[in-house]
Structure 1
Amino acid sequence: MDQEQAVPEVCIICGQEKAEGIRIISQFICEECEAEMVRTEAEDAKYRFFIGRMKKIGLQKNA
């Protein structure tokens, strides 16, 4: 069985280097942050933090 090794990337949410996650355009979000974002309610204070970090995706799309 030949399994591909995931190369660590820096998450735009937590800033940590992780091997597993998703890519949106050219930006990486680790599995842990993705899961936390999905569980966060719009009324939660952390929601605005996530929105701010997600704005990086649009700012760097031409990089």
Structure 2
Amino acid sequence: MNESLQNDYTASCIICGQEKANGIMIITEFICEECETEMVRTDVSDVKYPFFIHQMKQILYKKNA
């Protein structure tokens, strides 16, 4: 029996703020697949890089709060 399981769970991405179903959890925060893919492909010289760093720091700030 090969049934596809549907995941009705969504979470708010700490990067884009959108509700998504697929992604990763880091500590207690969710990052959607799209943001994760964009982050790992972003060069350090890209204008978006500091934004990603800032958003990722929010995970540590919330953990230590």
TM-align CA RMSD = 1.5
| In the alignment, structure 1 residue 31 sits paired with structure 2 residue 44 | no
Helix, strand or coil: the match of 1:36? helix
Aligned to 2:23: 21
Aligned positions, number: 63
Aligned to 1:55: 57
Provide TM-score, normalisation by structure 1. 0.90
Bigger Rg, which one: 2
Structure 1 runs (4+) deviating above 3 angstroms are none
Provide TM-score, normalisation by structure 2. 0.88
| In the alignment, structure 1 residue 46 sits paired with structure 2 residue 20 | no
Helix, strand or coil: the match of 1:45? coil
- Unmatched segments (≥5 aa) in structure 1: none
Give, in angstroms, the shift of residue 61 of structure 1: 1.1
- Unmatched segments (≥5 aa) in structure 2: none
